Amino acid sequence: MSDDYRYIDPDYTYTDPRTGVLRNIAGATDHDALTFIEVVSTTKRTNELKANPIKAEGSSTLFAIHRHLFQDVYEWAGERRTVEISKGGKQFFPISHFDTALAYVDGLIAEYRRIDDADKRRLSRRLAEILDSVNFLHPFREGNGRTQREFLRLLALEKGWKLNLNPIDDAEAYKRYMDGTIDGDIDLLAATICEFMDKV
């Protein structure tokens, strides 16, 4: 499947029509410069969340996480997207039905919380289902992957587990995570999550 995203945004809600670059607080007009700004800023903000984790209340916490991670980069940080997105010809969830999707995610989280804290396999499976649903929802114009990985880390943490789906020294693990989210492969996601969950 192609890695190319497509956006239906005739009014240039998010991008500069001249450069095609996402409008950003720093005023960067080059894709590489914006990527650098994003990486530096979100790394700092991710470390803050690791040092002081917030409580995952439910799907609403996705928006709090995104707001924290991207507060220095985009004025719309923490706001649900207002454009349709597809990747490789596969459309993500339509914005007209976001409330239904978020309610579904909240139901999955409620089920997750009823699982015994020590049942690693069942926890991993439910986290995989939450991840797959949040990824299909793709609630933000940019920054979905970073937000959902932090969201899963917080959910695992409340059950007494550490989870890192983007280990810097394991490109294969990240590839499995990406393949699982792109293909909606819950079995692959569950196995990957289970492998990278360790007791706190």
What domains lie within the chain, and their CATH numbers?
5-199 (1.10.3290.10)
Comparing CA positions, the residue from 29, 26, 69, 31 lying closest to residue 47 is 69
pLDDT of amino acid 175: 87
Which stretches of the chain drop beneath a pLDDT of 50? 1-2
User: What does the alpha-carbon distance between residue 179 and residue 181 come to, in Å, rounded to a whole number?
Assistant: 6
What is the three-class DSSP state of 6? strand
Distance of CA 118 to the CA centre of its chain: 25
H-type alpha helices, 52-119: 60-70, 98-113
Other residues' Cβ atoms within 10 Å of the Cβ of residue 12: 12
Find the farthest-apart pair of alpha carbons in the chain and give their distance in angstroms, rounded: 53
CA atoms within 13 A on the CB side of 21: 18
pLDDT of residue 104: 97
The amino acid occupying position 182 is I
Consecutive H or E run containing 85: strand 84-87
- Segment 156-167, tens digit of pLDDT: 999 999 998 877
pLDDT of residue 3: 57
- Decide if 90 contacts 135 (C-beta within 8 A): no
What pLDDT is stored for residue 169 in this prediction? 67
Cα 24 to chain centroid distance, Å, stands at 19
Which residues make beta-bridge pairs with 6? 86
Alpha carbons 60 and 31: distance in angstroms, whole number: 30
